[in-house]
Amino acid sequence: MATSIIKVLGTPASPFANRVSIALNVKSVDYEFVQEDMSNKSELLLKSNPVYKKIPVLILGENIICESLVIVQYIDETWTNGPSVLPSNPLDRAITRFWVAYIDCKWLPLMSDLGKAQGEEAILEVQEKLQQALVPLEEAFVKCSKGKSFFGGENIGYIDIALWCILGWIKAIKIMLGIEIFNVTKAPELVNWGNRFLEDKCVKGAMLEPEKLVEIVKLHLAKKEANNAN
């Protein structure tokens, strides 16, 4: 692999940028995290991702890869000396990709709905949907982990990275709204798995603490209120 500086364009608060950081950490790859201001996007970001103009972006010299899950797969296929993120067995890979698609297409949109919900009744309705949508993932964890620590077995894998990138925000939501999304009664295995994930050396430092995310939300709301007042 070329020794050119590896850069990740993102923000520490972005769960999708967190996916890339965690995947690189799993592979023990050194990289430079370039923080973006999404309200004032840099020329580097606009040039690197002219189609969507979004983070994250992985830059390796002249090679540029966009979209978090595409980047994670690229990392897995490029740095083969580290633990595999995706299973080697074709059937297991297909099952893994199915559940990651479920997370991105079914579960994460509900998280977005929660952020938009107005009023206690609407919030509780989305909370219930989120908890119900975790039930299949609870069952998938039991099957995919095969009694081990993560969806990927002994090491953090593709599903782990795809789902738990949002864990910091889940804990921040609990602090702000008192809402428990990962219910120990409905998804006990996922609750325990999440605790292990946060303690893993590949995750520590790649995600902001929930308290810091709460500060970011409060700052954003304060700026929004000030702009509306002007």
Greatest distance between any 2 Cα atoms in the chain: 58
Highest CATH level, class, for 90-211:
mainly alpha
pLDDT of residue 63: 95
Determine the pLDDT at residue 222. 84
Q: What local confidence, expressed as pLDDT, does residue 2 receive?
A: 46
- The amino acid sitting at 171 is K
At 42-89, the pLDDT tens digits run 999 999 999 999 999 999 999 999 999 999 999 999 999 999 999 999
Local confidence band at 230 (pLDDT 50, 70, 90 cut-offs):
low
Q: How confident is the model at residue 1 (pLDDT cuts 50, 70, 90)?
A: very low
Q: How far is CA 140 from the centre of its chain?
A: 18
The ranges of the chain annotated as CATH 3.40.30.10 are 6-78
Q: If you average pLDDT over residues 199-216, what whole number do you get?
A: 92
pLDDT exceeds 90 at position 11: yes
Mean pLDDT of 19-34: 96
Q: Looking at the chain, list the stretches that DSSP marks H as alpha helix, in order from N- to C-terminal side.
A: 15-26, 43-48, 68-78, 90-102, 108-116, 120-145, 158-164, 167-177, 188-199, 210-229
Supply the pLDDT for residue 224. 75
Q: What is the CATH number of domain 6-78?
A: 3.40.30.10
The pTM for the full model equals 0.93
Indicate whether 142 pLDDT > 80. Answer: yes
**Separation CA 218–CA 13 (nearest Å):** 13
Q: What integer best gives the mean pLDDT of the chain?
A: 92
For the chain, residues classed under CATH 1.20.1050.10 are 90-211
